[in-house]
Amino acid sequence: MNSVKQAPKPPIIGSPVLAGVVFSIIWLAAGALLLSLMLHFSSMKESNLGTYSLLVHSVSALAGGLTSGKRSERKGWYNGGLLGLIYGVIVMIVSFLAANAAPSWNSALILGVALLAGALGGIVGVNLRK
């Protein structure tokens, strides 16, 4: 019998915001894969892709904000909003580098949606801890 209590293991990714960014990118990859499969195997048209991609970005930021808020244990809206801002900037940089897409109203919309979804996810994530 071992009466010594084991200390809990620290998380692999220490920063809550960095962990949220990693989780949001994982969700983005899964959503992009799902969209491409839907585009290939269903009757979905490419003209509808913009709406669905905005949905994927918002779900990704929400999931990342949830992770960030759950790990931070306080100031969930701040950590989630910061995550959404970082996520939106990463998406804008990747779209500029991959497709040479200049910043437009669409990228501002994605940035705003990611900011709000990340903040909402952070709020919910902090409250899941209790």
What is the distance between the alpha carbons of residues 25 and 59, in angstroms, rounded to a whole number? 11
The answer to whether the CB of 122 falls within 8 A of the CB of 69 is yes
pLDDT at 14: 75
> What pTM was estimated for this model as a whole?
0.84
Tell me, rounded to whole angstroms, the distance of Cα 20 from its chain centroid: 7
Tokens of 119: 């903040």
In the prediction, which pLDDT does 45 show? 86
User: What is the model's pLDDT at position 55?
Assistant: 93
Chain-centroid distance, C-alpha 37: 21
Kindly give the confidence (pLDDT) of every residue in the chain, 130 residues in length, as a single tens digit, with 9 standing for 90 and above.
Answer: 567 777 666 667 778 889 999 999 999 999 999 999 999 898 888 888 888 999 999 999 999 999 999 888 888 889 999 999 999 999 999 988 888 878 888 888 999 999 999 999 999 999 885 5
* DSSP state at residue 42: S
CA distance 83 to 69: 10
> What are the φ/ψ torsions at residue 32 (nearest 5 degrees)?
-65, -40
CA–CA distance, 100 with 77 (Å, rounded to integer) = 32
Question: Rg of the chain over CA atoms, in angstroms?
Answer: 17
CB 55 within 8 A of CB 114: no
Contact 13, 72 (CB under 8 A): no
